[in-house]
Each structure stands twice: as structure tokens, then as C-alpha cells.
Amino acid sequence: MTTVEVTGGHVPAWRGGFGRLWSAAVISRFGDALRTAALPLIAVRLTDDPLVIASVTACGYLPWLLFGLLGGAVADRVDQRRAMWAVDSVRGLLVASFALAVGLGHASIPLLLALAFCLTTLQTLFDNASTALLPSLVDREALGSANARLMTGQQLAGGLLAGPLVPLLLTAGAFMPFAADASTYLLAAALVASLRIRPPEREPRPAGSTLRTEMGEGLRALWSDRALRATCVATLLCNIGMGALIATLVLHVTRWLDAGNAGYAAAMTAYSIGSFSGGFVAQRIARRTGRVRALLVAGSVQTSSLLLIGTVRHLAALVTGMLLLGAMNMVWNVNQVTLMQQRSPAAMVGRIASAFRTSSTSGAPIGALLGGTVAGTYGLNGPALLAAALFGLAVASLIPTVKPDVPVVAPEDNGTTARATG
């Protein structure tokens, strides 16, 4: 592992494998953004039912409820590098098959639901393995900077570069975004496979240890850590809100605002620009306030942004709100993931990460279905207002955890014993 110390913290060196992991993540995110933006636009062509459209998003989160804990337990057992490139290879083949089906005119809502479900099922292993692999490539002091660089690069590729291309690719052919996504999966798989790192040393598992037992250990470890428990609850509330907003955003833009596909692309681009900007300030905010207080700042700004989006019926208000929402979402994500990595024992990162993701991500499909119901019953701006209320509750739930004695890493960890102010 190699890091470079700079004033105010550590940053990861590009050599030693981090550069290739960063490249794989950025390339894969570029393709994901093409597919994610194209799916709801294709869904709108196939149906005008808000609940059915929201179900496409919900199916993209449901596997976390079913397989999330299993993915984390497996990630702590296997060679994480091999798991990642194998999963990306399979995902590339799946998306290539879907692109062929779309190109032949066989796109349908059931096919969209099946694709979203299968890709996320594989993602439960990939994401947990990726979270557990990063501490093997950089020192713990550099995890915050490494996460910020990874997420900022992903937003640059996924939003600023990929977002504006979606309408053009759809004009060339409905299958084009998916064909591009398939190629990025395969290229990312090759980059991860080229990493030359030794698998982390693991203590022998106790006799009779099962995946179910190990999943339970991850849940207990998460629940016993006060900072991680509170952050998980707050993230759950935020994910319910974001699920409601994102699942119906295409309707909010194209019908409530009557801004068309160009307006939808502008909203997604603004979100990505904000996320890219947030990557540069996430660590600075954390160093000044502590990681938990950084979450409080991010959640408060996001609450205000959602109120703006849901009350002002103008494209400029939507773009401004999405810009701020994206910036603070990056601040939230960088600090939440880093807090989890730093406070988790090395042998349990995958399981604790999966327990966190499964618990918090469970809100997204609930939010997606709730958003579709609210949009159909109370109006197409209803999901944004619902999200604002949920983000406000998330901020309130974090306030009791803001104590000066929350350590940066778990007490049982032998890593740094520095303390944060939040």
C-alpha cells in the first residue's frame, strides 16, 4: 500500500493498484450512467402508469433485501479481486443480450424488470467486495481521499460525460446506451483482473461456521457501533426519499414541468455537476467538522434543495435543487463510506458493509413504490416534498450522535486512534 502525505491529510498514490481500480470504477460508471438514464425513458415509451415506471427502479434495489447480507459474507470469504472481475464479466454479457433484444424490437416492461433485478443481484457481491478491497490498496489514513477520488471520478464520467450523450445515443438507436454499457463492464473486468495484489490474510473460520452465522456477526457488529448505527438509520430515511424522487423524476420533469427529455437530461447533468463539485469539498468539511457533523451539513442542505424542487414549478429551480442535492449527496457518501471502512475490523469489512447497505438500501424500493403512489394520488411534485420530509427526519436522527468522543476507528481496531469532533 502506498500513500502520499499532504498538508491536512493523506492521499493515495496512483501506483500500487489504486490507479487501475479507479480507472475500472470510472469506466464502469460511465456505462452505468448511460443505462440508468435510458431505462426510465424507454419505460415511459412502453407505459404511462407512474407505479409501473417506479417498479422498474424498485426492482433495481430489491435484491439488496434478498441477497445483500449474503453478498457481504461471500465477499469476506473469497478473493475479492477475482469476484469483482467475474461479476463484471457476467454483467457485461447480460447487458449485451438486453441491447440485442432492444435492437430487435423486443423491449418490454417485464424485460426491464428482469434486467434491473439481475444486475443488482450481482452488484450485491461486487459492491461489498469493492468496499473490502480498497483498504488493501491504500492506508487507512488515505481512505477518505481515496473514496473522494473514486466517487468524484465516477460522477465526472457518469454525469458530465455520459449524461448529455443519452439523448444522442437514443436518437441513433434505443439499444445504443446498453451496448456501450456492456462494453464498459467488460473493459472494467479486464482492468480489475490485471491487479496484482495478495489476498488479505484471514484467520481460519471457527469449526461449524456458516454463512448465516457470519451474516449475523456483521449485523451485530453494525448495531453495536453507535456512530454506524445512527448513520445507517439516517441513510435509510434518505434512501426512502431518494427512491421516491428518482423513480418519478422523469414524470416530474416531462409532465409537471413540461420540460421534455432535454429537461430531464439537464436535471441529471446538474446533479452530476453538483456531485463532481462535492467530491472536492467532502474531505475539507470532514476535517473541519468531523464525519458525523459533515453528514448533518449535507442532510440539511439536501432538505432545503428538495423543498425547492417540490414547490417551485420552474426548470431553473429544478436544476438549482439538483445541483445542490448532488453536491451534498457526494459529501454524505464519501463520509459515510469512509466512516464505515475506518470503524470496521479488517476481517469484517465486507459483512459490515453488506449489513449497512442492506439495511439502508431497503428504503429505496419502498421509496420508489411510495413515490409512484404519491405521484398518482397527490400530484407529480408530491415525491419531492415527501423526500424533503424524510431528509429532515434523517438530520434529526443524527443529532444525538454528535459527541466529541466518537473515535475515527473502532475501539478494537489497531489502526489510528485519532479522534473526530463528530
Given a cut of 70, whether residue 176 has pLDDT beyond it is yes
With a cut of 60, say whether residue 222 has pLDDT above it: yes
Listed in order, strand segments (DSSP E) in 128-199 are none
pLDDT above 90 for 296: yes
Q: How crowded is residue 65: how many other Cβ atoms within 10 Å of its Cβ?
A: 16
- The DSSP output letter for 156 is I
Q: What is the pLDDT of residue 57?
A: 67
* Distance set, CA 271 to CA 155, 194, 325 (Å): 9, 33, 7
- Spatial contact of 77 and 355, defined as CB atoms under 8 Å apart: no
Q: Can you tell me the distance from the alpha carbon of 120 to that of 127, in angstroms, rounded to the nearest whole number?
A: 10
Alpha-carbon distances, residue 342 vs 13, 83, 207 (angstroms): 19, 23, 29
Amino acid at 222: L
Q: What DSSP string describes 86-101? A: HHHHHHHHHHHHHHHH
Per-residue pLDDT, 422: 37
pLDDT tens per residue, range 26-40: 888 788 778 877 777
Pairwise CA distance, residues 303 & 393, whole Å: 9
Task: Return the minimum-mean-pLDDT range out of 215-219, 332-336, 416-420.
Answer: 416-420
Least confident residue range of 5-14, 55-64, 75-84: 5-14
Q: Closest by alpha carbon to 53, among 246, 312, 334? A: 246
Q: For the residues of 207-258, what is the DSSP string, one character each?
A: TT--HHHHHHHHHHHHHH-HHHHHHHHHHHHHHHHHHHHHHHHHHIIIIIS-
**Distance in angstroms (rounded) separating the CA atoms of residues 358 and 292:** 20
In this structure, is the dihedral angle defined by the CA atoms of residues 224, 225, 228 and 231, taken in order, positive or negative? Answer: positive
Confidence of residue 250 (pLDDT cuts 50, 70, 90): confident
Tell me how crowded residue 237 is: count the other CB atoms within 10 A of its CB.
Answer: 24
For the residues 178-196, what does the mean pLDDT come to? 89
b/e string for 22-38 if b means 16 or more Cβ within 10 A? bbbbbbbbbbbbbbbbb
Average pLDDT for 363-381: 87
Asked if 14 and 22 touch (Cβ cutoff 8 Å), the reply is: yes
The answer to whether 177 and 166 are in contact (CB under 8 A) is yes
What domains appear along the chain, each with residue ranges and CATH number?
A: 7-194+211-401 (1.20.1250.20)
- pLDDT, mean of residues 378-393: 94
Between strands 3-6 and 9-12, the pairing is antiparallel
Confidence band for 420, pLDDT divided at 50, 70 and 90:
very low
- List the one residue out of 225, 308, 320 whose CA is nearest residue 266: 320
